[in-house]
Amino acid sequence: MTERTKLRRKPGRGSHDREVIEAILDQALVSHLGVVDGDGSPVVTPTLHVRVGEHVYLHGSAANRTLRAACDSEVCLTATLLDGLVLARAAMHHSANYRSVMLFGAGAQVEDAGEKRRALEALVEKLVPGRWADVREPSEKELRATSVVRIPLAEASAKIRSGPPVDDEPDHQLPVWAGVVGLRLLAGEPEPDPHLAPGIECPAYVTALGRASS
Residue 28 one-letter amino acid: A
In whole angstroms, what is the distance from residue 102 CA to residue 4 CA?
10
Closest to a second copy by CB, 55 or 120: 120
CB 127 within 8 A of CB 182: no
Measured CA to CA, the distance from residue 22 to residue 153 in angstroms comes to: 9
Task: CB nearer to a second copy: give 152 or 203.
Answer: 203
Of the candidates 109, 113, 107, the one whose C-alpha atom is nearest the C-alpha of residue 45 is 107
Instruction: Compute the least distance from the CB of residue 205 to a second copy, in Å.
Output: 10
CB of 19 to a second copy, least distance (A): 21
User: Measured on CA atoms in the order 147, 153, 157, 161, is the torsion positive or negative?
Assistant: positive
Q: Nearest distance from residue 161's CB to a second copy, in Å?
A: 11
User: Coil, strand or helix: which one is 62?
Assistant: coil
Kindly tell me which of 1 and 185 has the beta carbon lying closer to a second copy.
Answer: 185
> Least CB distance from residue 134 to a second copy, whole Å?
5
Closer CB to a second copy, residue 53 or residue 175? 175
